[in-house]
Amino acid sequence: MGDLRIEARRLCKNYGPLIAVDELSFEVGAGEVLGFLGPNGAGKSTTMKMLTGFLAPSSGTALINGHDIVDDSLAARRCIGYLPEGAPSYGEMTVRAFLQFVARVRGFEGRGAMAAAESAIERLNLHSVPEQPIETLSKGFRRRVGLAQALIHDPQVLILDEPTDGLDPNQKHEVRRLIREMAEDKIIVISTHVLEEVHALCNRAMIIAHGRLLVDDTPAGLIARSRYHEAVTLVVDQPERVASVLSELPEARKVELREGELTVFPRQGTRLFEVVSDAVRAHAWDVRELRLEAGRLDEVFRQVTREEVA
């Protein structure tokens, strides 16, 4: 199969005057779990639909393992397992029949198709429901059926559009575990608007808005962009008095008091936490809580996507 990579080259999609995806270029390599982030309507799903060959790009193209999605769509599709948004499936079919159907269209024959379906059933813990019509299953099970069909041919590239949307916390946990297990020798692209997901799953994140790539970074790098990164938050008695003392510190850029929590923001390159804890000791303040902030993803997300709007 050669090299394992996705290469998007100036992908564009417009619907009449509306530009859904605007000159999107990026590369993804083996072992990467890439999270597409972005507000609703940002072009995440449209990008995935183009990568999987459902929509033809208005201009530009992408290569999946070297196969052009426009000129060699079928070969590109063979490398991909795809979970469309909402995990659609044929409701009147049983889980087993549905998976066998997908396996056959994907080129498994006879016993091979049955074996592939059974192993997907095994892998996604569907063995309690293989003979049930899919439409009678709960949302969590249906999502798992969708994942099972995406995995059935052990694809090198997995594209999952909101794989955990609408699942309860236990189901989310399970789906994430599964994705992490597979990540090693594949490329996985997921879209989500749940920010914690990026932290839990991805080793790379792209924020997209209005069809344009705004940020391409690791989740840690993304968090480091937060103004809360390395800030110190305290809960103390008499916060106003403490605030005025802390704002005098040369390492503190700014102090904010919000809902009883006092947050001190550091100047560039200073180690604020140690300074603040020294100050706490020196003044013998009655501190109930003291913590170092890692950064807040949702704040970075808002900041980045809002800049775009402005």
Partner 1 sequence: MSGYLAPVSHVMRRELSGYFSTPVAWVFIVIFLVMAGVFTFYIGDFYDRGIADLDPFFTFHPWLYLFLVPAIAMRLWAEERRSGTVELLLTLPLTTWQAVLGKFLAAWLFVGLALLLTFPIWLTANYLGEPDNGVIVAGYVGSWLMAGGFLAIGSCMSALTRNQVVAFILSVVVCFAFLLSGLPMVMDLFSGWAPQALLDTVADFSFLAHFATISRGVIDLRDLVYFALVITAWLLANTILLELKKAD
Write out the residues near partner 1 by the rule CB under 8 A: 15, 49, 52-56, 74-75, 77-78, 80, 82, 84-86, 88-93, 97, 101-102, 104-107, 133, 149
- Rounded-to-integer distance, Cα 219 and Cα 239, Å: 33
- Rounded-to-integer distance, Cα 171 and Cα 303, Å: 31
- Rounded-to-integer distance, Cα 242 and Cα 285, Å: 8
The least CB distance from residue 90 to partner 1, in Å, is: 6
Structure tokens of 1? 């199969």
Check: CB of residue 27 under 8 Å from CB of residue 34.
no
Which C-beta is closer to partner 1: that of 107 or that of 166?
Answer: 107
> Using CB atoms within 10 A of its CB, is residue 245 exposed (0-12), middle (13-18) or buried (19+)?
middle
Which C-beta is closer to partner 1: that of 134 or that of 207?
Answer: 134
The least CB distance from residue 184 to partner 1, in Å, is: 24
Which C-beta is closer to partner 1: that of 41 or that of 91?
Answer: 91
Check: CB of residue 182 under 8 Å from CB of residue 188.
yes
Question: H helices of 15-168, where?
Answer: 44-51, 73-78, 95-105, 111-123, 139-151
The least CB distance from residue 15 to partner 1, in Å, is: 8
Which C-beta is closer to partner 1: that of 55 or that of 178?
Answer: 55
3-state secondary structure of 177: helix
CA distance to 59, 195, 205, 288, 297, per residue, from 214 (Å): 20, 16, 11, 39, 15
Which C-beta is closer to partner 1: that of 82 or that of 228?
Answer: 82
The least CB distance from residue 74 to partner 1, in Å, is: 5
The least CB distance from residue 137 to partner 1, in Å, is: 15
Q: Which of 213, 222, 212, 209 is nearest to 40 (CA)?
A: 209
The least CB distance from residue 226 to partner 1, in Å, is: 36
3-state secondary structure of 63: strand
Which C-beta is closer to partner 1: that of 67 or that of 227?
Answer: 67
Structure tokens of 131? 């003979």
Question: H helices of 155-215, where?
Answer: 169-182, 195-201
The backbone torsions φ and ψ at residue 230, rounded to the nearest 5 degrees and listed phi first, read: 65, 15
The least CB distance from residue 101 to partner 1, in Å, is: 5
- Rounded-to-integer distance, Cα 22 and Cα 29, Å: 22
The least CB distance from residue 285 to partner 1, in Å, is: 58
The least CB distance from residue 180 to partner 1, in Å, is: 24
Which C-beta is closer to partner 1: that of 55 or that of 215?
Answer: 55
Q: Write the single-letter amino acid at 137.
A: L
CA distance to 228, 251, 304, 306, 307, per residue, from 300 (Å): 9, 23, 6, 10, 11
Which C-beta is closer to partner 1: that of 99 or that of 249?
Answer: 99
